[in-house]
Every structure is written in structure tokens, then in C-alpha cells.
Structure 1
Amino acid sequence: MERFTQAIDKSIETGNWYSALTLALTIPDICGRLSYPELASKSQKRYEKWFDEYVLHHYKSPFHGEGFTFMSGGDCYALRCALLHEGRDDITSQKARRDVLSRIIFSTTGSHRLHINGILVLNLQAFCSEICQGVESWHEDYQDSSDVQNAIKELLKIHTQGFSPSFGTFVE
């Protein structure tokens, strides 16, 4: 998973904001599929479950009252769908469950977790960092799972040097 979190970090370093955000919103899909094979045909449920387990704690606020949540796994999944399928930040038209929000706006300066009338303003770097922290915690939880570790080895790799796609073949 490190190759994915490093790609997010590199995208942030170079100001490739859309790349960082798109990959950060995809990671809960990847980790959820590996963690919850019993939910193989239920992408939304596994996404929400992973987000709620590994990232949600960043989006709870005791200062706003008991049980206040800036963004739930359902909201994040709706954002993922809106961005990946429509290129939008408005999540009101998503069939995916929205718990708290109607829109999520990202900025690279200033505020993080600013909630105004159903709109959440997030600092893109902080959001990506919270997702990456979730991946680190998740990886620690599954470091002894041979099924998950073997599945991680099978994830997409981009080859930047010569490689052998099959026995007896070398591609430069």
C-alpha cells in the first residue's frame, strides 16, 4: 500500500491536487476489498466500513455536541462517486447514502473541517494525510494476515524499468 500513499504524497508535493484527491478517495475501496472479502459485491458497504473504522475518528467533534460528525463514511463514499463518475463535489444527486452533507469543498489553504449549512470545507492536504494515516493503521492491523499481505502483492504496479511479464520474456 506504500506505493499508493507515496503517490499521494508526491502529488501533494508537486501540486497535483486532483491526482492526490482521486487516489485518496480510492484507497478506502482498495483496503475495504482486502479487509472484508465477505462484502465482495457490496462496494459501498465495505468502503463505509473501512472509512468509519480507520478515518472517522478525525471527523468526530465533541466540541459541537454529542455524536457530531463532520463527515461519515457514507458522505465520503458519495463524494468518491461524485468525483470519479461526474467530476463534481456536489453529492446531493448521489444514490450513495449521505449522512450529513450536501457538498464537500476542498482548499489547499486555510480551514479544515469547516461545516456550514451542509457544506464541508476540507483542507486537501490534511484530508489526504488522514486517509494515509488510516492506511497505516489498517496495515498494522492486517500485517499478520497472509491473505491480505498476498493480496497487496497482487495490486497494480507501474513498472518504471525493464521487467519480465512472464517467464523467458523481458520488456524494456
Structure 2
Amino acid sequence: MEHLIDALEAALEQKNWYAALTMALSLPDICGKLEGEAPQTSRARYVRWCEKYLQPKYTAPADWDEIPHVFLSGSDCYALRCALLHEGSAEIIEQSARDALDSFEFTVTDGVDWNIHMNQTDLRLQLSIDVFCDDLAAGAERWLEDMEPNAEVQARMSRMMRITNIGPRRSAD
């Protein structure tokens, strides 16, 4: 699992935003499947994982008389995953998993000391792509810690696909 988190971090360092976002949105799927809680669907596992490891960070605390505001629910994150990985889209209005949002906008703020993150206008959520990807990676790291004593999960992780480098890298020439 750490090799996938490392790949995500490398994509972020290289500013390969699409690769980073694709990998980040895949992590909850992979973690959920490795937990092996059958007969849950991929959607149920993904939403449950996001509710535990991501949604708290995307929930504004309530004032004394209000309920907390959830900027990003597990269902909306799953809808984004489906829209992006299957359609190349940030529009989730037609996704059956959709909860509260209609679309996402990802921003990059190269060269400045601030970012635009968790800025919601109507049903559109604006996220800083590097912060969002880092948050998913951090969730996967917390999940790894939680799963450390689970021998079954550890066994499944040992069988994950790995890429083996068997020779020198070919040049682009």
C-alpha cells in the first residue's frame, strides 16, 4: 500500500495533477477492498472509508445552534471518483451516488503561499488539488496504522500488484 502512496506523492512533486488525482481517488477503493468486508459493494466500502478517513476533515464544526456543514460527503467523493475515472469529468449531477454537490473545480496555486480549498458556491466545491490529494494520502496512512494488527489485511496487502524494474530505463530519444 505504501508504494501507491509513494506514487501519489511523486505525482504531486512532479505536478502531474491528473495522475495524482486519479491515484488519490483510487486509494479508498483499494483500502476498502483490502479490508475484505464482504458482501459490501465497492460503493458501500468507498463511502464508509471516506466517512471515516476523509469526511471529518471536510466538515465544518457546528455553531451552538446549527448542524455541522459537510463540504464533502463520502457519497459525493465516490460520485467524483466515478465521474473522473469513468468519464473524465468533474460533474457529478448524473451520478447515482451523488449526495449534495453537482460538481467540483480543482485549483493549482503555483508560486503563492495560499490556496483555494473547500470553497463552496451553491452546489460546486472548489478544492486545491494538492491539498485534497494530500488529505486522501493522509487518510490512507491512518488506515494503514489502523490495519497494522489485522493479519488478514496484511496478507492481502502482501499480494498487491507491484511493478518490478528489471533493467535500465529507456531514454526518450
Common topology (TM > 0.5): yes
Task: Give the alignment partner of residue 156 of structure 2, picking from 144, 148, 151.
Answer: 151
Per the alignment, residue 80 of structure 2 pairs with: 79
Q: Which amino acid aligns with 2:61?
A: P
The answer to whether the Cα contact below 8 Å between 2:36 and 2:153 also exists between their aligned partners in 1 is no
Deviations 1:6-47 (A, max 9, x none): 11110011111100000000010000111242235x010000
Distance 2:135 2:73 in 1: 14
SS in 1 for 2:139: helix
Q: Which amino acid aligns with 1:18?
A: Y
Deviations 1:131-161 (A, max 9, x none): 1111111111110111101111111101113
Per the alignment, residue 160 of structure 1 pairs with: 165
Distance 2:151 2:56 in 1: 27
The answer to whether the Cα contact below 8 Å between 1:33 and 1:39 also exists between their aligned partners in 2 is no
The answer to whether the Cα contact below 8 Å between 2:106 and 2:126 also exists between their aligned partners in 1 is yes
Distance 1:117 1:16 in 2: 29
1:1-172 aligned within 5 A: 1-40=1-40, 42-62=41-61, 65-95=66-96, 97-109=97-109, 110-161=115-166
Deviations 1:98-147 (A, max 9, x none): 22200011111220100101000000110011111111111111101111
Q: Which amino acid aligns with 2:44?
A: K
Per the alignment, residue 171 of structure 2 pairs with: none
Distance 1:104 1:38, change over 3 A: same
Equivalenced residue count is 160
SS in 2 for 1:104: strand
Q: Structure 2: any 5+ residue segments left out of the alignment?
A: 110-114, 168-173
Q: Which amino acid aligns with 2:74?
A: G
Q: Which moves more between the two structures, 15-24 or 54-63? A: 54-63
Shift of 1:85: 0.7
SS in 1 for 2:104: strand
Q: For CA contacts below 8 A with separation 6 or more, give which structure has more relative contact order.
A: 2
Distance 1:35 1:108 in 2: 33
The answer to whether the Cα contact below 8 Å between 2:48 and 2:74 also exists between their aligned partners in 1 is yes
Shift of 1:63: 5.8
The answer to whether the Cα contact below 8 Å between 1:36 and 1:46 also exists between their aligned partners in 2 is no
Q: Which amino acid aligns with 1:47?
A: Y
TM value normalised by structure 2:
0.88
TM value normalised by structure 1:
0.89
The answer to whether the Cα contact below 8 Å between 1:39 and 1:46 also exists between their aligned partners in 2 is no
SS in 2 for 1:39: coil
Q: Which amino acid aligns with 1:61?
A: A
